[in-house]
A and B are shown apart, each in its own frame.
Chain A
Amino acid sequence: MDTEKFKNALLVEDFCDLRVQDFSFTSIKGTKRELDTVAIIRKTGGNVRVLSGGGFGTFCFTDPDDLKFAINEAKIASDLIPGKKIFTNYEVNVDHVSVTPEMDPRKVSLEDKKALMNKYIDIFMNYDSIANLESEYYEQFTDTLVLNNKGTEVRQEELICGLTFRVTSQKADLTQITRLSFGGNSNYADLLDHEEEVHTKARQTIELLDAEPVVGGNYDVVLDSDVSGLFIHEAFGHLSESDNLVGNISLAETMKLGETFAVPEFNVIDDPTLSGYPGSYSYDHEGTLAKRTYLIKDGKLSGRLHSLESANLMNETPTGHARAKNFGFTPIVRMGNIYIDKDRHSIEDMIRSIDKGLYLFGSAGGQTSGDTFTFAVQGAYKIENGEIKGMVRDLALTGHLFTTLKNIEMIGNEIGFSKAGGCGKGGQILIQSGKGSAPIKIKNMGIGGK
């Protein structure tokens, strides 16, 4: 990358930044026993932003010769936006961050990657009741340079690899789907030696065929770490992304810092600086240093995630959470690794405290729209008189955020993080989005069945 050339192209006046990126993505995809697609994608491009008027003008380009044109267009666009916004609150960072994984996936041959996948695939497919299996190995490497006319010059490598399986069991017309993921970080070694987990997941997927369909209604529930992580990501995390608050006075009022959202034992943190999870990184895509941020502290709303723009408009500190899927997209506020911090209860305590309820396991995707959320789970165990009983299937949860947060009664004593990232917002699927949690108990949760 010709840093000097890029630096010289930046506008001197106003605010102007440039992100150029080499993007590579390797994927091996399989259906049932066949590995049918191997793709090695390479893309290069840049994204320019100018703030000379009342908002950002941005321009993405793939042809390096378009750089000047892109800057010019971004300036024209920003000038078309009525008003004048000026950033006063920004960091100037100069750094070069390289990745140094314990076992670098880029140095592992395609043959070895396929052999590893085939080993796990064979375990799954040797079970007669596994009717379909979608497998994927993914490996994304980006080399990104972020420059701005305030002096920031951050070059950062990011690397993530992982294995994901979507497992379908079938008995007559009934099918059940579960998911299993490994990795979600830069270390290939984390993908090895999971045979036992694969067997367990295969058996669980098959056992779900004999589970009863859940009867829709309200239940006291215990969420395992995976489901709790999805809950906090969907239900609350997205509302902490401050770009939603910009220009939305009513929502900003709803999300007033200091408001009591949950019991005092409840703490939610977003921390990209944790190492080894899908949402771990040093600098965001505006060149701001990533910061561990308390979102809820002692039950009270205590912070939020920011980009340069949202932090400046709300007069708060940038937290380093503006990220883009790749150079083709503008950075928007995204979670890094969001999690519910641990408290003191064991899973057993939580289960014992419930007369009639459900213990939900395995996330299966969710969505939020403002203060309501929904997400699917892979399955659940019934809880009767404080004891785990048989499995139930076909569960989807829905609820109102603020009511549900207040209904959280117990928080577990151990945090687990999901190995699979992935979150969609504004047309950008970001695989580097981590979530985790201690298990939690929520009373009176709405569960939909079929």
Chain B
Amino acid sequence: MKTLLEKILKVCDHAEVYSRIVFSTSVSVQAGEMQGIESEKKTEVAIRIVKGDKMGAAVATSLDDESIIERALISLENQKSEAVEFPNESVENVICSSDQVKNMNTQELVKLTFDVSDRLKTFAPEITSGVEFVKTVKNVKMINSSGFEGEYEYTNIAAVIYTLNEHGFYSTIKEYSGSDLPEIKDEHLLSMIELHKLGNQMVHLENEKMPVVFSGNVMGSLMLRVLGGVNGGNVSKGISPVGEKLGQKLFSEKITIRDDATMPMGCNSYAFDDEGTPAQNTVIYENGVLKNFLVSSGQSKKLGRKPTGNAQKRTLFSKEIEDSPSVFDTNIIIEGHSIPDHEIIGGIKRGLFITGVMGAHTGNINQGDFSMNISSGFLIENGKMIGKVKGAMIAGNIYDLFQKVEAIGTEKEVMRSIFYTMGYSPMVLFSEANIVGR
């Protein structure tokens, strides 16, 4: 890396070299049969260069590919990207790697996958189910001309367990993700089976307003919109609806939202972001009050705020390396007015428990709008789930909805943001939402 940095510095004033080696293996079983095993060992390299007041960037798949320098120069000459100062701050250790996961071989991963599949089958032999495990190990290194030299190791195990209905379509899904092996409890599997069986009792809703509980996993679809508002890129471009509202109470006081890259063993924890800014724990909304934006070093000058360590070389739909870093979530943590899950459900006279949505990626996300199909939702009457909702949608705007947060549950689930996981949330009760029924 140092050799490449030296070569780059011959043609520009300042530079940064980022490189990572990603090893991953994924194993999947459906209906008790193993589908396939996919692995990768990938090197990804990205550089950024500064010359005068301009900046350019490029990526490659090898540290030996010197065309990266020429491409970064073309980028520098053609784009209007203001130069940033590359940081050189001391980085503290963040626990984001597990030796157990790192040393696990494919055979052990296969066994683990079959074990979970067998457990589910023991509980409910009549239900068709599937299990997928993905193991990732990443070695990340970064150096820059300001003197920064950083390195960390990251491991992750992501698990998806699902059941299929009688027509072969997804019925229930449960996900796990973290640096270490997940604890897949019997009660999780039993709860999936209970919801699966409720799928046999279809209920229809009218156009109505009712209390709604989002499962922790599905909270990701709403958090995508919360993050659109506090993304430093959107704030600096003047397209965030909350860009001028720091310090204002925008949500119910019952909710606090943090972004914590330092979380030990979190699904997206790291020691430093892809610009070399140390990982941080940033409170975004505290008891409903907007406290912070998530800011990259490029945006920090314009916004007059410190970088929060959220710059990542990826996009919303891809984790392959990108040349320019953008602001993304790390581990979003939702907490607040906490009530045990069974009391939340038990306290609802008539309402909806939503465990799956479609269309999270459509609509005006940055403005907070959503209009999603409820692909998995259960009608609650007098504190009990009585059937699965068919053909209903939920629509609104998060800046209305989040004023109606009534309670936050206790059992945390990993949140999903379209293709990827984005932190952890328990179930969240909103006092009222618009449901479009038949």
A interface residue numbers (CB < 8 A to B): 28, 31-32, 34-45, 54-63, 66, 69-70, 73-74, 76-78, 80-83, 110, 114, 131-132, 168, 175, 177, 216-218, 245-254, 326, 328, 330, 364-376, 394, 396, 398-400, 424, 427, 429, 446, 448-450
Contacts and interface: CB of A to CB of B under 8 A. Distances in A.
A177 B228 CA distance: 15
Interface stretch (B75-83, B118-126, B265-273): B75-83
B85 to A, nearest CB: 19
B67 to A, nearest CB: 6
15 contacts: A32-B237, A39-B59, A57-B37, A60-B38, A61-B40, A114-B78, A248-B168, A252-B168, A367-B373, A370-B169, A376-B362, A400-B391, A424-B418, A446-B393, A449-B436
A365 B359 CA distance: 8
Given A55-B36, A78-B37, A132-B239, 13 more contacts: A39-B324, A41-B323, A60-B39, A69-B41, A218-B438, A369-B358, A372-B358, A375-B359, A398-B393, A446-B438, A450-B369, A450-B371, A450-B395
Nearest to B420: A427
A330 B78 contact: no
B361 A365 contact: yes
Nearest to A402: B167
Interface in B147-165: 164-165
Interface residues of B, number: 77
Interface stretch (B27-35, B251-259, B286-294): B27-35
A98 to B, nearest CB: 22
B397 A450 contact: yes
A424 B106 CA distance: 27
A250 B207 contact: no
Interface string B106-148: 1100100000000000000000100000000000000000000
Contacts of B237: 31-32, 132
Contact of A80 (B44, B106, B359, B363): B106
A399 B373 CA distance: 9
B68 to A, nearest CB: 8
B391 A175 contact: no
Contacts of A245: 168
Interface of B: 25, 30-31, 33-44, 56-62, 65, 67-68, 71, 74-75, 78-81, 106-107, 110, 128, 164-170, 207, 237, 239, 317-318, 320, 322-324, 356, 358-364, 367, 369, 371-373, 375, 390-391, 393, 395-397, 418-419, 434, 436, 438
A76 B65 CA distance: 31
Contacts of A364: 362-363
Given A44-B62, A55-B37, A62-B43, A247 B106 contact: no
Contacts of A81: 34, 36-37, 110
B323 A39 contact: yes
A446 B34 contact: no
Contacts of A60: 38-42
Nearest to B233: A31
A43 B74 contact: no
A328 B169 contact: no
Contacts of B30: 247-248
Contacts of A376: 359, 362-363, 371
A371 B57 CA distance: 43
A157 B205 CA distance: 51
A365 B362 contact: yes
A247 B31 contact: yes
A37 B107 contact: no
Nearest to B32: A247
Contacts of B106: 76-77, 80
A177 B369 CA distance: 11
Contacts of A366: 359, 362
B79 A370 contact: no
Contacts of B371: 376, 394, 396, 448-450
A427 B30 CA distance: 18
B71 A42 contact: yes
A38 B79 contact: yes
Nearest to A111: B78
A448 B395 contact: yes
B373 A58 contact: no
Most A C-beta atoms less than 10 A away, residue of B68, B79, B164, B360: B79
